[in-house]
Amino acid sequence: MSMPATQSCLVCDTPTKKSCASCKTAFYCSGEHQKQDWRAHKEYCLTIKAAGSQTFDALLFGENDTKPRIVKVPFSLRPEGISESASESASESDSSLRGWHKLDTSPWFKHPNKAVRPVFIPRLGINGPRLKHVLCLYYDDNFTMNRLPLNRCVVGATKGRAGHRWCGNVLALRMGRTYDFCASVDVEEDWEALVRYFEEYGRVTLERLD
């Protein structure tokens, strides 16, 4: 199972290799379409530019998109017992630190009553074998109250077979060394597990597993 190509124009969905020179993750078939989309793209682009290398690659299932695409999610390390100013200079790879990754998901979750929460995917499907890397989905749990639209991207990825009505944007990443840490998604390795989860969640009963 392979993921559909994601390098297509954000305005007209035409396949293209031309990307935004700043963030490198938004694609456009022409300068005209890039200019047309700037108002929608501006916040994300400037946020990613300011974050520098402090980002993870995530797979965005956009609520109004037809195909998922790779985006960058800024993060900061928040170690326990260390001031916020000191944590800015802490290394993400320092295994001696105990804390968490604070993700900036604001470009995708804007409602004032949002309740962005993670759901972890440890297996291929609900009752399948354990995954080498646990996956994590972020979504707005207040989607009903906030009247968020049905996620067309999830509908397309599952060919209409999703077992749950996912609404609003959904971000997929990998879990890091603990549940408090994240890592970049690997589309080639993780795509099948994500689709299987969307298909089976809400439809397949969880069995008692070891």
Residue 73 has pLDDT above 80, yes or no: yes
Task: Identify whether 46 is part of a domain.
Answer: no
Residue 139 has pLDDT above 50, yes or no: yes
Closest residue by Cα to residue 79 from 97, 95, 103, 54: 97
Task: Identify whether 207 is part of a domain.
Answer: no
Q: Is 49 helix (H, G, I), strand (E, B) or coil?
A: helix
The pair of structure tokens assigned to 97 is 């630190």
Residue 95 has pLDDT above 70, yes or no: no
Inter-residue contact 163 to 191 (CB < 8 Å): no
Task: Identify whether 13 is part of a domain.
Answer: no
Expressed as residue numbers, the domain containing 148 is: 53-200
The pair of structure tokens assigned to 135 is 């996956």
Inter-residue contact 69 to 6 (CB < 8 Å): yes
Query: What is the model's pLDDT at position 206?
Result: 85
Task: Identify whether 16 is part of a domain.
Answer: no
Provide the residue type at 149 as one letter: P
Q: How many domains does the chain have?
A: 1
In which band, very low, low, confident or very high, does the pLDDT at 96 lie, cut at 50, 70 and 90? very low
Task: Identify whether 123 is part of a domain.
Answer: yes
The pair of structure tokens assigned to 52 is 């520098």
3-41 pLDDT tens trace = 665 689 999 999 999 999 999 999 999 999 999 999 999
In which band, very low, low, confident or very high, does the pLDDT at 164 lie, cut at 50, 70 and 90? very high
Distance CA 206, CA 45 (A): 40
Distance CA 119, CA 121 (A): 7
Task: Identify whether 95 is part of a domain.
Answer: yes
Residue 61's alpha-carbon distances to 65, 188, 206, in angstroms, are 7, 16, 24
Task: Identify whether 25 is part of a domain.
Answer: no
The alpha carbon of residue 22 and the mean position of all alpha carbons in its chain are separated, in whole angstroms, by: 20
17, 11, 173, 25: CA torsion to nearest 10: 40
Task: Identify whether 134 is part of a domain.
Answer: yes
